[in-house]
Amino acid sequence: MSIEVKVPVLPESVSDATIASWHRQPGESISRDENLVDLETDKVILEVPAPVSGVLKEIIKDTGATVTSNELLAIIEEGEVVDTAASDDAAAASSDETPVTTAEASGSTEKLSPAVRRIVTEEQLKADVIPATGRGGRISKTDVVNYLADDGSRGSRHEERVPMSRLRTRIAERMKEAQNTAAILTSFNEVNLQAVVGLRKQYKQEFIDTHGIKLGFMSFFVKACCEALKKFPVVNASLDGTDVIYHNFMDIGIAVSTERGLLVPVIRNAESMGLSEIERHVADLASRARDGNIGLEDLKGGTFSITNGGVFGSMLSTPLLNPPQSAILAMHAIKERPVVEAGQIVARPMMYLALSYDHRIIDGKDSVRFLVAVKEALEDPSRILLNL
């Protein structure tokens, strides 16, 4: 019996999707609920599972095609599933043209994507020697290109034109929109993190024992920003035409770097959370974003964002706004620098902070005072507890 596989109903905010990759080819077996195809939207990857067990009879829409809700993707012939691993091994032994699989060391038996398979075939590479860093232990195009670049003995000069992904295209559009629309300025300050570092060191194990999660820096910054936003609500506001919308809640976006690009999942009502709850939300959202399991609802909204270039070694930057938000705080690398305390020069863990803001609704004095409030809360964390 032939079963149709269709595009699931897309969320209201998503008009269409692009077929990112097929995990089975015609003639191959697949089990019910096993992921058949990945659909890429502007924000997330949607997995389409097989509705029944059987053999993939026909692919209607190829990789790269744009599809909409309920559009026909493929046809599966329902029936008993055969041992695909055994048949793949037998086919590989009898034909050099059989599609290459990833190495056993990579922990995956998935087929390589068409783009990766093409490069591997053209360059006559062995997949089992290419380090795999892609999702699920797959070999990505970047892995192959890096392998070719590192293998100087081959003397290969490889060049490939690759269309931007839906996510990368959307990121480019939003960043350009921010530059073209908002009057973006950036204010800078530096913060002495001696008190925060001391607290983390003093209560490190006790915090883990009590809450089951590590105490990081991000929770302190989220709390400090929430306290500063209470004092300067215009920084938490957004512009809609000629109206300024003041939000009485603080949904804080945390920028996460993923293989597909930058995502900004949102912590809802962060102002009402304690440090442990914030840490759990940050860890969960970051993990799901990197694994490709983040939902569209997790990326919607947000009234203020925080980005941490310090994890990559950045010392100073001017972050771009995440529309329609009016401000974003950038954290940077923590470095010991000489500072003067009580007339003495001492080494302290210092970090540069940068606040980019929309000067159309946020005045310079409010941006500077907001940044000072964040600095004061971090340099004396007791102010957060005392609501000062």
Residues annotated as catalytic are: 359, 363
Q: What angle do CA 134, 136, 142 make, to 5 degrees?
A: 10
Residue 355: closest CA among 375, 332, 328, 325? 328
Interatomic CA distance for residues 388 and 382, integer angstroms: 9
Cis peptide before 381 (omega within 30 of 0): no
Longest dimension (CA), the chain: 84
List, in sequence order, every beta strand (DSSP E) within the chain: 2-6, 17-22, 29-30, 35-40, 45-49, 54-59, 66-67, 72-78, 184-192, 238-240, 243-245, 252-254, 256-257, 262-263, 266-267, 304-308, 327-331, 335-341, 344-358
CA 361 to chain centre: 29
Give the relative orientation of helices 141-150 and 114-122 as an angle to the nearest 10 degrees: 20
Residue 111 bridge partners (DSSP): 101
Interatomic CA distance for residues 376 and 191, integer angstroms: 8
Tokens in use for 368?
């500077």
